[in-house]
Amino acid sequence: MSKPYLRFEDGKISLGGKDLDVSSASLSLNPSLEPERVYGDYDAAIAGAKTEFVKHAAVSPLRGQLEIKFLINSDKFTTNNIDKLFDIRNGMNGDAIHGNIVGRYFFDNMYLKSFSFSLSPYSVIEASASYDIFGSVKKTSERRFNITNLNIAHGLKSFGEMKANNQSADNISGQFEISSLQYSIQVNRKVHYHIRGSEHSSVATTANGALPARVSLENIEAEMSVESNEIIPNLNPYGDYQSGTTVDGLSSASLSAFLYTLQGDKVAKFSCTGKIQSESLSISEGQYAKGNLTIREIIK
Amino acid sequence: MSFSNYQQKVVIDGVALSGVQDVNGSYGISEKPIRIAGVGFVDALVNAPLEGNFTISRKMVSRDPLIQFDSLGKYTYDENEISGAILYENDTKGFGFTKGRVTRYSVNCAVGEIPDIQTDITVYGDLGSGVMTQSETQSHPPIQYPDQSSISINVSDFQLDAITDFSYSRSLNLEAVYAIPKGTSSDWDNDIDISNPNLDPVQIDTQYPIETDINFTMIVNNYQIKEMKDKIRSAPKSNVSIQIKDAETDAIINAFTGQNVRLTSESISSSTEDEMTISLTYKGYETLHNPVS
């Protein structure tokens, strides 16, 4: 009996030639089409011309998206190599990630758009990443891979640290407990096409169509937020913790997440140093007072 | 080697309990199956805090050492942790727990029986062999037995007929807050264990109100069931008190009170073999600060 549908167990996800421990993936392609309507022949009944649909016209090159949720396995990400694979911090460049496989489909020309994860007590840490894809996808054979040692980042041993003006949050608020922590990094890119690049006849010889000549980095911003029992008091208009009488010499706030596996192996460290963008406190029936605090770092 | 009932001891908060009929301790680990595209199921990993349960069933043969009151007259177990263990082999081995919180306390009794006490405990700390294996440090209250003539129930707004059985229970909803482990960048840099792994909840709170349920069954004599719609319109509150006294000395062993409780259901039962009975159920709510009036 044939199996036209690909099973989860047989559809590996590989990005940049590296197999990832992906729990879910969503690949989509969206040609940008607009209907072209023109005035037709003369119609005596209306003493004029009616508009008529001619075709769908492509108004921009083919683009797609890939969104994945994956586990951060220490075997694949030795300490801080996660930065390199996902190209998410300093040293990020405009190079495309080629050699990507999602199930039975293969594609090139992929660029990281965002990366995030959340850390909460006793929970498996699941990360998310989304990518922009330029061009089309090709059919390939289904593939599997083996995991010999599952050693993934877990909330049991991973920890967080909050500082404001170089003081630990415990020193500022008494006892500062973080019930959950979120990290996200957003990359905005500018896509450059050659003028009239899409008009050359060679463009139509593959399904990819016109590809960008260059995808450059516009900006990178990281954001970290925590849900906690306290918020930072004495927040000044500059987003700093100010306990004294001057704003001079105040340091930015920082949040850090140190990811470890369940076995206690180091996986990766993520930090966000910048201004406190927002903090809030809420209390409602049947709940504790919950603080929420966000720090944003402008990386580029 | 096995251990008979006379070789075991149940110690809670330093007191070796008497009248224990059975004790059950258990814990469960909540796991998340890990499934990976292109591989399938790989493993299942812990994905929720570990919490255990301890249930103690006893006959009431003395003042209950678990029932203590604070300066405001509230049950201390409402807000405080308890610990304990089942000890055996001359108290050298045991299965115990720490950071336990009472989630339900109930007393049941029928004519001709010694009242039963059941205490349900949720464990937020350690649970298992070798935990809290310490002998009793406090003396047990003197043994006192009630009999059916020394147990009385009073309801503030009417005269009760003969009671055949009663039950009293308090249910506590607890909320445990967990936080992620706390460490510093120097812990990371120097590969040292973090000082605060936050394995236990950082806070455990009782969610008020605490619900009190009192139920008793009477043999019908003078009492008449109230008309349902009248009852809803008036919704009166009563005080119900249960006193369990020593059959010999008449000294109170344990007393339970439901303040401003409301009659929530009545049922009548008639059969060819038994006397006609009426069962009344009262429900009350205990608050943290502002008592229900």
Judging contacts by C-beta atoms under 8 Å, the chain A residues touching residue B34 are 23, 71, 124, 150, 152
Judging contacts by C-beta atoms under 8 Å, the chain B residues touching residue A289 are none
Alpha-carbon distance A161 to A183, whole Å?
13
Judging contacts by C-beta atoms under 8 Å, the chain B residues touching residue A25 are 37
> What is the DSSP-derived secondary structure letter of residue A45?
T
> What is the DSSP-derived secondary structure letter of residue B185?
H
pLDDT band (50, 70, 90) for residue A87: low
Q: What is the pLDDT of residues A210-222, one digit of tens each?
A: 888 888 888 889 9
Indicate left, alpha or beta for B164 from its phi (over 0: left) and psi (-120 to 50: alpha).
alpha
Distance from CA of B184 to the nearest CA of A (A): 6
Count of structural domains within chain B: 1
Q: What is the pLDDT of residues A165-213, one digit of tens each?
A: 888 999 998 899 999 999 999 989 898 888 766 677 777 778 888 888 8
Which residues have a Cβ under 8 Å from the Cβ of B137 and sit 6 or more positions away?
B14
Whether B49 and A258 lie within 8 Å, measured CB to CB: no
Alpha-carbon distance B9 to B6, whole Å?
8
Judging contacts by C-beta atoms under 8 Å, the chain A residues touching residue B47 are 122-124
Cβ-in-10-Å burial (0-12, 13-18, 19+) of B124 comes to buried
Task: Of A167-181, A238-252, B1-15, give the lowest mean pLDDT range.
Answer: B1-15
Nearest partner of B29 among B48, B57, B12, judged by Cα: B48
Whether A168 and B184 lie within 8 Å, measured CB to CB: yes
Alpha-carbon distance B270 to B274, whole Å?
7
In a domain, B135, yes or no: no
Q: What is the pLDDT of residues B156-167, one digit of tens each?
A: 877 777 888 999
Average pLDDT of the segment spanning B137-153: 87
Judging contacts by C-beta atoms under 8 Å, the chain A residues touching residue B183 are 159-161, 258
Name which of B43, B45, B180 is nearest A178 (Cβ-Cβ): B180
Domain with B255 in it: 5-27+45-130+144-286
* DSSP-assigned beta bridge partners for residue A67: A26, A130
Q: What is the pLDDT of residues B91-109, one digit of tens each?
A: 778 888 899 999 999 999 9
Distance from CA of A295 to the nearest CA of B (A): 18
pLDDT band (50, 70, 90) for residue A80: low
Name which of B32, B39, B180 is nearest A181 (Cβ-Cβ): B180
In a domain, B183, yes or no: yes
Name which of B45, B188, B198 is nearest A154 (Cβ-Cβ): B45
Is the pLDDT score of A46 beyond 90?
Answer: no
In a domain, B38, yes or no: no
Is the pLDDT score of A101 beyond 80?
Answer: yes
Alpha-carbon distance A251 to A168, whole Å?
12
Average pLDDT of the segment spanning B103-132: 90
Distance from CA of B214 to the nearest CA of A (A): 25
In a domain, B107, yes or no: yes
Nearest partner of B77 among B168, B9, B169, B172, judged by Cα: B172
Q: What is the pLDDT of residues B187-216, one digit of tens each?
A: 999 888 888 889 899 999 999 999 999 999
Alpha-carbon distance B278 to A242, whole Å?
69
Task: For B45, name the nearest residue in chain A, comparing CA atoms only.
Answer: A124
Alpha-carbon distance A73 to A101, whole Å?
19
Task: For A148, name the nearest residue in chain B, comparing CA atoms only.
Answer: B42
Is the pLDDT score of B40 beyond 90?
Answer: yes
The single residue listed with the structure tokens 């050659």 is: A194
Whether B47 and A147 lie within 8 Å, measured CB to CB: no
Name which of A8, A159, A170 is nearest B37 (Cβ-Cβ): A8
In a domain, B33, yes or no: no
- Number of A to B CB contacts under 8 A, please give it: 123
Judging contacts by C-beta atoms under 8 Å, the chain B residues touching residue A150 are 34, 42-43
Cβ(A120)–Cβ(A130) below 8 Å = no
Nearest partner of B87 among B99, B100, B72, B97, judged by Cα: B97
The alpha helices in A169-256, defined as continuous H runs, are: 169-173
Max Cα–Cα distance, chain B, nearest Å: 81
Alpha-carbon distance A24 to A18, whole Å?
16
Alpha-carbon distance A164 to A250, whole Å?
9
Q: Which two tokens stand for residue A139?
A: 């059919």
Residues 7-36 of A with CB under 8 A from B: 8-13, 19, 21-25
H or E stretch covering A216? strand A214-228
pLDDT score at B228: 62
In a domain, B178, yes or no: yes
Alpha-carbon distance A88 to A132, whole Å?
14
Is the pLDDT score of B8 beyond 70?
Answer: yes
Is the pLDDT score of A90 beyond 50?
Answer: no
Q: Which among B46, B180, B187 is the top mutation candidate for probing chain A, defined by the most A β-carbons within 10 Å of its own β-carbon?
A: B180
Q: Which two tokens stand for residue B205?
A: 């709170």
Cβ(A251)–Cβ(A203) below 8 Å = no
Alpha-carbon distance A26 to A23, whole Å?
11
Distance from CA of A142 to the nearest CA of B (A): 9
Nearest partner of B116 among B45, B167, B75, judged by Cα: B167
Residues 34-53 of A with CB under 8 A from B: none
Task: Of A134-138, A172-176, A194-198, B272-276, give the lowest mean pLDDT range.
Answer: A194-198
Task: For B181, name the nearest residue in chain A, comparing CA atoms only.
Answer: A159
Q: Which two tokens stand for residue B30?
A: 């909540």
Q: Which two tokens stand for residue A200?
A: 């050359």
CA geometry: angle A140, A144, A149, nearest 5 deg: 150
Distance from CA of A164 to the nearest CA of B (A): 14
Mean pLDDT score of chain B: 87
